Structure 1
Amino acid sequence: KHKISRTVSALVINTPNNPTGGVLSKDNMKLSYDLAEDHDTVVFSDEIYESLVYDGFKQTSMLEIDPTMERTLVISGLSKSHAMTGWRLGYAIGNDETISNMTRIQQNTTSCAASFTQYAGAIALTSDQSSIGLMVAEYQKRRDVITHLFNEIEGIACLNPKGAFYVFPNFVEYGLSSATLAEFFLKKIGICTSPGGVFGEKYDSYLRFSYSASLEDIEEGMAILTEFLPTIK
């Protein structure tokens, strides 16, 4: 609440979250909406990872909180739910006025997504969706493994995320910036990560690791990382 002032024009929510994998409960989604309503601002709800939640958690869309879309714009796509990352096909759900204004801008900038991409997206959405559940179950296995392996390493703390496909371990005891650590890992042992500092200054001791790789690659990469870490501490 203390971050919101008269100059704030929108509240942006990203749940499940990138980079942490954290998720907001329905109660917290409602609190976020009420906060926006109290300050007469709009809510941009980024729900691109909505299908990727674990441990029986039920993701709440902001559309459930604001079904009339009076002050809500939901942003999502098929990159995560249907593994169509390279197709760059997304969508927005909002009230008539908002979508009409967005359409004017898009028509004069990108025009539209490629037609073959739209056809593929339509098939993805109208076909059997059981593969999503299988994908989520596999991601949960990988999450459990990588989280366990990180927490086995002395000096690293790694929370168990409830969504998305990232872990965000804290390397604060190594005394190096996230950019320095990321460069070390890439150049010395061939492991690519995202430095936490790019997500905000207070995350500069964190690194984002994706577990979208195979379980075998995750285990091999973690073994290499575990062996390398004592050389820089």
Structure 2
Amino acid sequence: MQVSNIANEIHPSLTRRLFDKAKEYDNVIDLTLGDPDYPTPPEVCEAGCKAIREGKTKYTANAGLLELRTAVAEKVKNETGIEYDPSKNVIITVGAMGALYLLIKSYINEGDEVLIPAPYWINYGQMVTMSGGVPVAVSSDKEGFALSTELLEKAVTPRTRMMIINTPCNPTGEVYTKESLEAIAKIAKKNTLLVVADEAYSCILFDDAKFTSIIDIPGMRDLTILVNSFSKRYSMTGWRVGYAVGDENIISAMTRFQENVASCCPQSSQYAAIAALRGSQDSVDEMVKGYQRRRDMVVEGINKIDKLSCRKPQGTFYVFVDISKTGMNSSDFSFDLLDKAQVAVVPGITYGEDGDSYVRIALTRNDEEIREAIYRMGKYINSL
């Protein structure tokens, strides 16, 4: 049977291909998926289990439990000082991925262009394509992959309707400065563009890095939809809880779409998310300390390997490794590394053409495994 034209345009990511391929090897160290190895905090698990025991396993409102939406609005107010009405401006979704897809589907029309600074998470472009839009990758400053607002402004056309920003950035770990966000805001206001702010990694910051939300920039509250997730902050990837906050009309449209796509996020997961937001954040702090320790280990180890180098990421739990001196593209390097050293990494081409001289390492394995992976990478490079 013939599938749709759009279905034919959507391809499995190289991340998943490497993840699946890695299962064919014994003793493999898989550094592909951004799936934390830390457990979900016990009090969060208990809240989810308690909800199940109490029979809270039914549908909720399409926009999610009001108690959770209220907790989300309180979190945003505490972090930014900006108030949102939880009954009108917040939707709970099936992960941040659900929020992003519902948002893009709710806002763009056939042929509309969406600006995405590169390197970028591949799913952004796929979601735009699935919604009939045109993803437009905007190259960054190669020195540290800093956002090039000059190129961003040049990329705006009469068909541009939205831009997606991700800070801290997957895969580079770059954290946008306030000055960069002000420049983005100027472009958005001048051209009346909706800014989708994916802040899934906003809590994973290292050293003296400081996170600024674009809604902190004057005039951006009404032009921004915040998207966030419980997956990275609380190691809840399998619970599938995310949210979006912003304009009432857009949130309402997203809710109508969700009614027809997923109905709602699982009720027990929502109760777990309430416990996560309102409970102690000590486990989050400990995870971030662990990621920073692993980051330092990887950065030091990689920079000692001939032909490999990397910058020290400011946030996320990824390290973007420059492989250009090997003379290989990122796909060939990644599959060869897996075959000969049993270490799985993600080819940088996954994140757009700007990333083809890089591979991404996820800091989501224990210290011993990460140390061994770096050792194997060194042996592999020496064998070339």
- What residue is the counterpart of 1:188 in the other structure? 340
| Range with bigger deviation, 58-67 or 15-24 | 58-67
How many angstroms apart in 1 are the aligned matches of 2:218 and 2:163?
A: 14
Percent of counterpart pairs with the same letter?
Answer: 34
5+ residue gaps, structure 1, are none
Question: Any residues of structure 2 matched to 1:114-193 within 5 Å, and which?
Answer: 114-193=266-345
Aligned-partner residue type, residue 346 of structure 2: S
What secondary structure sits across from 2:269 in the alignment?
A: helix
How many angstroms apart in 1 are the aligned matches of 2:156 and 2:367?
A: 42
- What residue is the counterpart of 1:29 in the other structure? 181
Select which of 54, 73, 94 maps to 2:206: 54
Kindly indicate whether the alpha-carbon contact (under 8 Å) linking 1:68 and 1:95 is maintained by their aligned counterparts in 2: no
Kindly indicate whether the alpha-carbon contact (under 8 Å) linking 2:182 and 2:217 is maintained by their aligned counterparts in 1: yes
How many angstroms apart in 1 are the aligned matches of 2:181 and 2:190?
A: 14
Indicate how the Cα distance of structure 1 residues 67 and 75 shifts in structure 2: closer, same or farther if over 3 A, else same: farther
Q: Cα RMSD (Å) of the superposition?
A: 1.3
Larger RCO of the pair (alpha carbons < 8 Å, separation 6+): 2
State yes or no: 1:40 paired with 2:185.
no
What secondary structure sits across from 1:13 in the alignment?
A: strand
What secondary structure sits across from 2:197 in the alignment?
A: strand
How many angstroms apart in 1 are the aligned matches of 2:236 and 2:214?
A: 23
- What residue is the counterpart of 1:90 in the other structure? 242
Shift of 1:182: 1.0
- What residue is the counterpart of 2:94 in the other structure? none
Shift of 1:157: 2.0
Shift of 1:38: 1.0
| Structure 1 stretches of at least 4 aligned residues deviating more than 4 Å after TM superposition | none
- 1:6-28, Cα deviation, whole Å (9 max, x unpaired): 22111110000001111101221
- What residue is the counterpart of 1:225 in the other structure? 377
- 1:37-87, Cα deviation, whole Å (9 max, x unpaired): 111111000000000011122211122225773110011010111111111
Aligned residues: 232
How many angstroms apart in 2 are the aligned matches of 1:161 and 1:25?
A: 14
Shift of 1:231: 1.9
| Range with bigger deviation, 64-73 or 54-63 | 64-73
